[in-house]
């Protein structure tokens, strides 16, 4: 019987993966890991073949005009004009040196992709958990992941708990991917391979264990690295024009010199030696030896200006190509947007509130129907922002002017919302200490926390997917009073908010027995009171909006490329002034 090709790792059951890799959930032995390391090599991205400094220097002379100048240098030197020859050759040499220096700087910047790999990994060897350099990982190793870890290799997950991983560098999705252990379809794209953890991505929450299926160049990030090395080098419009000018000029100079030589000998009876010197002098004088220097200096100034704006220009002539651009295609997440989730809308029974500010900086006000308001004047808004802050596992820390998030980006957005409303996370946690928690899991789509205050009261806060939370609610809270839930009203509000391209979360509350100390799913599955709904989005960068506006004024069309839902992409596009809301 013909052999059947085994399914890819993401489509295979974890038991089959472990069997194929000849390992176990307890990991490899140290001796077996050393043997496999010798066979597989180090877990690092291969460096592309490097051209030596001398070769890069020689390649700077690969230009027709430079060839002509070198020929002019040789002829001028043969004629005994040492000063002229030195000037012409000096121009050519300076041009080459500037090109070599700039290319070297760009190569160092592009090498930074190799830093995406994790420097260390927690693995099970000989049944014990040890930390080893990521370069020593081999296929079959069992890696343990914790919140905050960078995934050190491509893994097939076989045990997880609330594991979510930020895969924006591979998929462009700003929301961390929820992980599972089930196999998926063979042709599933990278973003849908829920049972895999990919090298270079970041664990935002939860825990997990997985077996290494690929290292180094065989990982997804390694495949991208290989594709970058295969990018075809195109000739820029400027170089094409210079080559064309050099060809025409060289032809014209040769023809003119030949005509002058023939004219002097045939019609003026000069000797061949005299006319040769005259023709060569004419040819040297006609060549614009200052053109390469002027062009190189101009391009160098352009590259330096771009470098100040954090743009990497690998080769000098490429900076000129920007002047010929008619269409710019840009990634969305992290490029046009901040890759920082932000609450933009809060919906309560009293109406819809808009939230200002963006990112995790807790600055921004609240407005209603275009009028600025104070959140503490609206009890329902105060209640939902406090609940969002307390039913939360994220943390924000300030480093100079930057705010750093530890935890899930969605929870970071809710924490920032509470701080914008004037709540201090530390003080609120002291007022209502958490007693117990039901962590978020994709199976039940919510998170719930139990809190007790110092007056003997107890309360349960809950947040999660709106459709799930609405099933768990019997009431809606209106300024402290619980009224029967108006499901029609809330479904209408959900449709309106979804049309704005926002990710929605519902927040609910319930008064608990003061003696309660342990929270179970049965205690929240019914009888909750809905506080409201928050709409979250990855907001566009202010500087990106301004850049798009300037591009349009310059006649450049900007297109956004994203794997997001079409409604979300259209909403971001409208806000940035990109396109007309259509998917192309």
**Residue holding tokens 């005299």?**
274
Is residue 29 within 8 A of residue 35, CB to CB? The reply is no
Please count the other Cβ atoms lying within 10 Å of the Cβ belonging to residue 454. 9
Sign of CA pseudo-dihedral 380, 385, 388, 390: negative
Paired with 528 in beta bridges are: 473
> Given 331, 478, 482, 525, which residue is catalytic?
331
The secondary structure of 211-227 as a DSSP string is EEEE-GGGSHHHHHHHH
Of the chain, the end-to-end C-alpha distance in Å amounts to 47
Q: How far apart, in whole angstroms, are the C-alpha atoms of residue 136 and residue 128?
A: 16
Report helix angle 64-78 to 272-286, nearest 10. 140
Q: Most distant CA pair in the chain: distance in Å? A: 122
Closest by CA to 506, choosing from 525, 534, 484, 486, is 534
Long-range contacts of 481-485 (CB under 8 A, 24+ apart): 482/529, 483/349, 485/530
Closest by CA to 41, choosing from 216, 256, 296, is 216
Per the document, the length of the chain is 584
Tokens of 388: 């969002």
Is residue 109 within 8 A of residue 325, CB to CB? The reply is no
- Which helix (H) or strand (E) segment holds residue 354: the answer is strand 351-355
Q: How far apart, in whole angstroms, are the C-alpha atoms of residue 333 and residue 445?
A: 24
CA atoms within 13 A on the CB side of 225: 24
Is residue 168 within 8 A of residue 191, CB to CB? The reply is no
Is residue 352 within 8 A of residue 187, CB to CB? The reply is no
- Which helix (H) or strand (E) segment holds residue 493: the answer is helix 487-498
Distances (CA, A) of 64 to 242, 246, 444: 8, 6, 68
The secondary structure of 81-98 as a DSSP string is -HHHHHHHHHHHHHHHHH
Is residue 396 within 8 A of residue 415, CB to CB? The reply is yes
CA angle 376, 380, 382 (to 5 degrees): 40
Clarify whether 331 is annotated catalytic. yes
The catalytic residues are 331
């Amino acid at each position: 019987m013909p052999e059947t090709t085994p399914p890819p790792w993401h489509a295979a059951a974890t038991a089959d993966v472990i069997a194929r890799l000849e390992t176990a959930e307890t990991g490899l032995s140290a001796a077996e890991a050393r043997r496999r390391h010798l066979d597989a090599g180090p877990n690092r991205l291969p460096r592309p073949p490097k051209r030596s400094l001398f070769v890069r220097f020689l390649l700077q002379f690969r230009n027709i005009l430079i060839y002509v100048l070198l020929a002019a240098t040789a002829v001028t030197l043969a004629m005994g004009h040492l000063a002229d020859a030195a000037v012409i050759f000096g121009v050519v040499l300076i041009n080459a040196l500037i090109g070599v220096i700039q290319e070297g700087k760009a190569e160092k910047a592009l090498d930074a992709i190799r830093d995406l790999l994790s420097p260390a990994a927690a693995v099970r060897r000989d049944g014990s958990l040890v930390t080893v350099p990521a370069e020593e990982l081999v296929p079959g190793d069992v890696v343990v992941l914790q919140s905050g870890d960078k995934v050190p290799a491509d893994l097939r997950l076989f045990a997880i708990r609330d594991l979510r991983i930020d895969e924006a560098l591979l998929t462009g999705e700003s929301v961390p991917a929820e992980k599972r252990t089930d196999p998926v379809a063979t042709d599933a794209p990278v973003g849908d391979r829920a049972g895999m953890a990919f090298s270079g991505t970041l664990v935002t929450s939860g825990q997990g264990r997985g077996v290494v299926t690929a290292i180094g160049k065989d990982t997804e990030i390694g495949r991208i690295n290989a594709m970058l090395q295969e990018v075809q080098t195109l000739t820029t419009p400027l170089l094409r024009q210079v080559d064309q000018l050099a060809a025409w000029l060289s032809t014209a100079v040769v023809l003119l010199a030949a005509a002058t030589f023939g004219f002097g000998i045939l019609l003026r009876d000069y000797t061949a030696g005299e006319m040769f010197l005259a023709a060569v002098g004419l040819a040297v004088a006609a060549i614009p030896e200052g053109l390469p220097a002027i062009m190189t200096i101009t391009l160098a100034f352009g590259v330096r200006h771009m470098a100040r704006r954090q743009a990497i220009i690998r080769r000098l002539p490429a900076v000129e190509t920007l002047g010929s651009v008619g269409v710019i295609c840009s990634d969305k997440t992290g490029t046009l947007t901040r890759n920082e989730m932000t609450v933009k809308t809060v919906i309560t029974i009293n109406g819809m509130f808009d939230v200002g500010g963006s990112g995790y900086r807790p600055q921004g006000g609240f407005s209603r129907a275009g009028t600025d308001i104070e959140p503490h004047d609206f009890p329902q808004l105060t209640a939902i922002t406090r609940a969002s802050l307390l039913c939360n596992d994220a943390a924000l820390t300030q480093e100079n002017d930057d705010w750093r998030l530890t935890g899930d980006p969605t929870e970071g957005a809710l924490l920032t919302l509470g701080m914008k409303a004037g709540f201090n996370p530390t003080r609120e946690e002291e007022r209502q200490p958490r007693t117990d928690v039901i962590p978020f899991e994709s199976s039940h789509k919510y998170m719930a926390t139990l809190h007790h205050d110092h007056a003997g009261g107890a309360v349960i806060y809950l947040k999660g997917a709106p459709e799930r939370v609405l099933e768990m609610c019997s009431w809606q809270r209106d300024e402290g009073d619980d009224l029967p839930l108006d499901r029609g009203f809330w479904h209408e509000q959900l449709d309106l908010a979804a049309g704005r391209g926002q990710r929605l979360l519902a927040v609910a509350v319930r008064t608990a027995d003061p003696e309660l100390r342990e929270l179970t799913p049965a205690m929240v599955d019914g009888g909750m009171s809905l506080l409201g709904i928050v709409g979250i989005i990855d907001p566009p960068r202010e500087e990106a909006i301004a850049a798009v506006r300037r591009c349009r004024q310059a006649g450049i069309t900007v297109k956004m490329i994203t794997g997001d839902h079409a409604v979300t992409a259209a909403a971001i596009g409208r806000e940035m002034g990109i396109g007309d809301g259509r998917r192309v």
